Amino acid sequence: LQRVELSDGDFIDLDWLSDPQADINAPILLLLHGLEGSKDSKYIQSILHKMKSYHWNIVVMHFRGCSDEINRLPRSYHSGEIEDLKAVLAIVREQHPESVIIAAGFSLGGNVLLKYLGESGEDSLINVAAAISVPLLLSSASARLDKGFSRLYKNRLLKELKRKTVEKIVNHSPDLSLSVSQVEKIDTFYDFDDQVTAPLHGFGGAVDYYNRSSSRQFLSGIAVPTLILHAADDPFMTKDVIPEENELSGSVTFELSGQGGHVGFIYGGWPWNTRCYIDERVPSWFKS
């Protein structure tokens, strides 16, 4: 575990996969989890298991407050926050100056990754990337989560976000204009982003946050080989999030499957012979 002190006095935690066979100059694989995820998320554990045989140096970046320890500041993380990623990349590059840096982002982590790549362009410290099940248009994803089966995901994630927010109100009450009762009344992602995410991170409301943080607008600026995996039946998305070909830079490979769900892509005979396409496609992309 490596604790990274940030310029604003807060911190984030990096979890390194210890592999005695990994050379100091072997590629670095940086993994970015999704909303309220961590190194223990199933998709992170799955890719970690698959990549062990590569003998690379692998690190999971935890977003603020996602490593089971409350942060010092009222602010948290969000889909468009790339400054923390920049800080981590600078440290990784300093510690491993000769290594290729490879990154995989899942869901929210994929949005952060793509936004960073698009804004950085040729100056990216990441050499190769993959982004899986990314909410490329945050407004559409937010609205989709209030419909049908997707509400099951919404209720679970929103409950955890509200719990953490209440905890921060208790610990940072002089710095937060929200009350516990206000937070408890929130029942949609839009309201959470409008009342919590936006004001805590300098946005003028949920719409402003969505417009400025959605990664789709940055895809044309990506300058390093980047794979984007997306499923048409993703319960977090609508077809509106799928970019047009002219929105992609020549460095982006966009793969759309009819099925796959959200960070799933499971296929094969159920239940004893299932396989995960992510665990096959992403490593092969990186290796090639």
How far apart are alpha carbons 158 and 140 in whole angstroms? 17
Residues in the chain: 288
How far apart are alpha carbons 83 and 188 in whole angstroms? 27
Q: Strand 57-61 and strand 101-106: pairing? A: unpaired
Helix axes 108-120, 83-95, angle to 10 degrees: 70
User: Of residues 67, 107, 133, 214, which has the active-site annotation?
Assistant: 107
How far apart are alpha carbons 27 and 98 in whole angstroms? 9
234 is catalytic: yes
Name residues whose C-beta falls within 8 Å of residue 214's C-beta, 6 or more positions apart in sequence: 79, 80, 111, 135, 136, 137, 138, 139
**The amino acid at 41:** S
8-25 burial: b if 16+ Cβ within 10 Å, else e: eebbbbbbebebeebeee
262 is catalytic: yes
107 is catalytic: yes
- Cα torsion 48, 51, 52, 55 to 10°: value is -130
Kindly list the catalytic residues. 107, 234, 262
